[in-house]
């Protein structure tokens, strides 16, 4: 699997795999209701806050896809090839994408018009995360470098070297102004967003860490990668669960945080329901 996402109502999941097919799954029945040949890899899927449409990475940039009519809406083109990660700011009406080059692309959602891209990285950008108010952006690249940006102005607020390997995923923690990053160096790190100082290193994984999903109250987290899945207590920075049985390539947490869906390199999807609750994590 290349990407997986869950709709805001928690009833459906979207997935893309090495067969280059986009599928919509009914999570109550376990079967898929719609599919579409994409003609190439879809490395990222982002669902709109209202669940009406999704953004899909493509070999030419990105596509907005109607999830109810199951049809194309519009495209967002790059200067050079595919996108590998996507984000959407509802407040700014802006689509953000990164891929083969060092640019951070910005498009108008309603028209597909390309704004001036942000050029801050020396290496291809591999991961994006929006701040809680959708006005700041964290980006990580293939060299392990991180940038924290003001999305409306493009100003770089902070830059630091986070990992020795490619940044695969990260999350901005709004309550504590911290950042959690994952990398192909098998490490997860927690950073102070104001200074770039490292606060913690979580080292339970032994292979590439591919994806992170953090609870709404930021008290626990799921991480996944080559050596399976981990669940972390973020208050005490402890690994509280590990399963090494599946090589996981992508991950999504349900809106109610009752389950997580992961995609594996063998093309399968799995649902994990033994997740903690914020009430069970104490200082």
For position 153, what pLDDT does the model report?
86
Pairwise CA distance, residues 21 & 208, whole Å? 25
For position 133, what pLDDT does the model report?
83
The domain 1-123+145-161 is placed in CATH, from the list 2.130.10.10, 3.90.230.10, 3.90.420.10, 3.90.960.10, at: 2.130.10.10
Are both 1-123+145-161 and 164-283 of the same fold?
A: yes
For position 237, what pLDDT does the model report?
94
Predicted TM-score (pTM) above 0.85: yes
For position 47, what pLDDT does the model report?
97
Q: Which of 113, 116, 61 is nearest to 85 (CA)?
A: 61
For position 282, what pLDDT does the model report?
56
Q: Which of 57, 81, 136 is nearest to 146 (CA)?
A: 136
Cβ-Cβ contacts under 8 Å for 29 (sequence gap 6 or more): none
Distances (CA, A) of 54 to 4, 136, 212: 11, 21, 20
Q: What is the pLDDT along the chain (283 residues), one digit of tens a residue?
A: 999 999 999 999 999 999 999 999 999 998 999 999 998 999 999 999 999 999 999 999 999 999 999 999 999 999 988 999 999 998 889 999 998 889 999 999 999 999 999 877 999 999 999 998 888 999 999 999 999 999 888 899 999 999 999 999 999 998 889 999 999 999 999 999 999 999 999 999 999 999 999 999 999 999 999 999 999 999 999 999 999 988 999 999 999 999 999 999 888 999 988 788 766 665 5
Answer yes or no: are the C-beta atoms of 265 and 228 closer than 8 Å. Answer: no
61 CB-side CA count, 13 A:
19
SS (H, E, C) the chain: CCEEEECCCCCEEEEECCCCEEEEEECCCCCEEEEEECCCCCCCEEECCCCCEEEEEECCEEEEEECCCCEEEEEEECCCCCEEEEEEECCCCEEEEEECCCEEEEEECCCCCECCCEECCCCCEEEEEECCCCCEEEEEECCCEEEEEECCCCCEEEEEECCCCCEEEEEEECCCCEEEEEECCCCEEEEECCCCCEEEEECCCCCCEEEEEECCCCCEEEEEECCEEEEEECCCCEEEEEECCCCEEEEEECCCCCCEEEEECCCCEEEECCCCCHHHCCC
For position 120, what pLDDT does the model report?
74
> Environment class of residue 74 by beta-carbon count within 10 Å: exposed (0-12), middle (13-18) or buried (19+)?
middle
For position 281, what pLDDT does the model report?
67
For position 245, what pLDDT does the model report?
87
Q: Give domain limits for the chain.
A: 1-123+145-161, 164-283
Q: Which of 75, 89, 92, 9 is nearest to 40 (CA)?
A: 75
Place of tokens 């695969």: 168
Is the CATH code 2.130.10.10 the one for domain 164-283?
Answer: yes
């Amino acid at each position: 699997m290349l990407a997986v996402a869950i709709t805001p109502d928690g009833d459906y999941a979207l997935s893309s795999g090495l067969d280059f097919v986009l599928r919509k799954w009914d999570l109550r029945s376990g079967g898929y209701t719609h599919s579409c040949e994409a003609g190439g890899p879809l490395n990222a899927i982002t669902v709109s806050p209202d669940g009406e449409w999704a953004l899909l990475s493509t070999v030419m940039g990105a596509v907005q896809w109607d999830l109810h009519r199951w049809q194309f809406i519009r495209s967002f083109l790059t200067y050079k090839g595919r996108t590998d990660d996507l984000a959407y700011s509802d407040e700014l009406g802006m689509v953000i994408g990164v891929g083969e080059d060092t640019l951070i692309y910005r498009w108008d959602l309603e028209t597909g018009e390309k704004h001036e891209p942000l050029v801050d990285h020396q290496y291809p950008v591999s991961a994006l995360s929006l701040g809680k108010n959708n006005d700041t952006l964290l980006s990580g690249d293939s060299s392990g470098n991180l940038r924290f940006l003001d999305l409306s102005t493009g100003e770089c607020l902070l830059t630091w070297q986070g990992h020795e390997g490619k940044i695969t995923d990260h999350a901005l923690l709004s309550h504590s102004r911290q950042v959690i990053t994952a990398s192909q160096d098998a490490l997860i790190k927690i950073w102070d967003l104001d200074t770039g100082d490292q606060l913690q290193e979580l080292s339970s994984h032994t292979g590439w860490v591919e994806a992170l999903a953090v609870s709404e109250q930021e008290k626990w987290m799921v991480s996944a990668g080559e050596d399976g899945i981990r669940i972390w207590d973020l208050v005490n920075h402890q690994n509280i669960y590990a399963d090494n049985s599946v090589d996981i390539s992508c991950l999504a947490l349900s809106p109610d945080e009752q389950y997580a869906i992961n995609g594996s390199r063998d093309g399968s999807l799995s649902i994990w329901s033994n997740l903690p609750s914020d009430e069970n994590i104490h200082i």
